[in-house]
Structure 1
């Protein structure tokens, strides 16, 4: 890799597609990407919350990037439904222009699932299928649709980022849905990296973030030892801000030296 690539300070004229962009880590990623892309870039922000997306769009429009002409498209969609995926892809195709040289997909949308119960209680297939549809199937199908819409072409880089978790690697009691979903997604993108050598694929685990999902984990987790560990982390101010974690993700993307398909944790950097 050349020294120019190692010292890259921006992500080019990019089309950035970010799921789960209305809150938490996804919202922070959107803000950071707006600062890292060159003029002539576009962000496609997908989430279920219309009000939060609109507020973010206004914020970005008033930013330096917005004043420089950054295009921001919001897609209110349930990614667990086919129609939601189609809306994101359609908006992405409309936002793309021929002078763009980088396509970046952030698979961030996810849910914690019911952590108030243990594995043996999950006997309802429809409940499990619904969770996996949003957290696994939608990521696979959206990624496939985006890659089909924007096939390999000279002069255009393509990057796929999966927001992963330590739960993809280690079992957490009473978190069977979340651990299963994260493990499946990690393997999904490892396979993608093997199949598509021109792609840059990253599984990034952002660490324990101070978000609404973390609040849910502290008060709903069935396993007492795990619940206590999260309560202690919060009490001792050990949770990470989304901005702190996103800064390391940004560093990874700019340096671009990670092994494609690798799982990289915040604490490894």
Structure 2
């Protein structure tokens, strides 16, 4: 594919897990990628390798997505690097605080929403003129927890539920942009490790043991599995998916899954 017509995709939370997997799939699919994360590039071996092997197609910005003016900086960085913008994938997310609602730190809840929801909203607003012009796509990485509550996870659950409704609203309002909220399944990431190591007190023994068993029984998905679907949605999602919260393994996404 000619470099001049390569699609340009912004990926937040790019340094590890699902985000890093998404970047790899996009680059292998001849997209130009703008990776965003708080981590330094050299702290991620996977991204460092991608930056070396795809030096013309990959750009990385170390930035807190919840920082003031982060959204405009990200969009400006992408436009400066590649001259256009075709898709936004908001994957950056926080599980914290893991705590009961009655005793939760409201400031910690606000931080969770800043990363999981408001950073995505700000990025969408900053990118929207360019996405409209290119009939672009938005993918918000949601969670099964957006529709099913867990003890101790209420900040995370409600912030992801808000993302689902944000996508639903975009589906109604933005006719030239396809917006999807994707449930990635239970994935072998640092967040799962955090749940296993620090979630028992707030979650309760039954729910906590369930997540421990996911790991012990080998039922956690590799990040590459939903990462492939997310990348393909950012490049090829059809209009009929716009506004929807959909699982990575939904039959409607069979053509988006890795063969």
Query: What TM-score do you get using the length of structure 2 for normalisation?
Result: 0.86
Work out the CA distance in 1 between the residues paired with 2:213 and 2:49. Answer: 34
For 2:22, the equivalent position in structure 1 comes to 29
For 2:216, the equivalent position in structure 1 comes to 235
State the Cα distance separating 1:194 from its structure 2 match: 0.8
For 2:132, the equivalent position in structure 1 comes to 152
* Deviation string, structure 1 residues 197-229 (Cα, Å, up to 9, x no partner): 111111111100001110001122222211110
User: For 2:15, what is the secondary structure of its paired residue?
Assistant: coil
Is 1:191 matched with 2:181? no
- Asked whether the 8 Å contact 1:22–1:52 carries over to 2, the reply is no
Work out the CA distance in 2 between the residues paired with 1:194 and 1:30. Answer: 28
For 1:7, the equivalent position in structure 2 comes to none
* Deviation string, structure 1 residues 158-184 (Cα, Å, up to 9, x no partner): 000000110111111110111011000
Work out the CA distance in 2 between the residues paired with 1:147 and 1:263. Answer: 20
For 1:163, the equivalent position in structure 2 comes to 141
The alpha-carbon distance between structure 1 residues 76 and 253, as it changes in their structure 2 partners (threshold 3 A), is closer
* Deviation string, structure 1 residues 92-124 (Cα, Å, up to 9, x no partner): 121233xx6x60100000011122x211112x4
Work out the CA distance in 2 between the residues paired with 1:200 and 1:151. Answer: 9
The alpha-carbon distance between structure 1 residues 262 and 90, as it changes in their structure 2 partners (threshold 3 A), is same
Give RMSD over aligned pairs.
Answer: 2.1
Is 1:108 matched with 2:91? yes
- Asked whether the 8 Å contact 1:53–1:74 carries over to 2, the reply is no
For 1:17, the equivalent position in structure 2 comes to 10
User: For 2:60, what is the secondary structure of its paired residue?
Assistant: strand
Is 1:207 matched with 2:193? no
- Asked whether the 8 Å contact 1:47–1:53 carries over to 2, the reply is no
User: For 1:228, what is the secondary structure of its paired residue?
Assistant: helix
- Asked whether the 8 Å contact 2:86–2:136 carries over to 1, the reply is yes
The worse-fitting range, judged by mean Cα deviation, of 44-53 and 196-205 is 44-53
Is 1:172 matched with 2:162? no
User: For 2:246, what is the secondary structure of its paired residue?
Assistant: strand
Query: What TM-score do you get using the length of structure 1 for normalisation?
Result: 0.83
Work out the CA distance in 2 between the residues paired with 1:255 and 1:103. Answer: 11
The alpha-carbon distance between structure 1 residues 235 and 168, as it changes in their structure 2 partners (threshold 3 A), is same
Alignment match of 1:86 (pick from 46, 58, 72): 72
* Deviation string, structure 1 residues 119-168 (Cα, Å, up to 9, x no partner): 1112x4322222211221111011101113x1533xx2300000011011
- Asked whether the 8 Å contact 2:11–2:33 carries over to 1, the reply is yes
**Gaps (5+ residues) in structure 1?**
1-11
State the Cα distance separating 1:83 from its structure 2 match: 3.4
The alpha-carbon distance between structure 1 residues 169 and 48, as it changes in their structure 2 partners (threshold 3 A), is same
Work out the CA distance in 2 between the residues paired with 1:54 and 1:240. Answer: 21
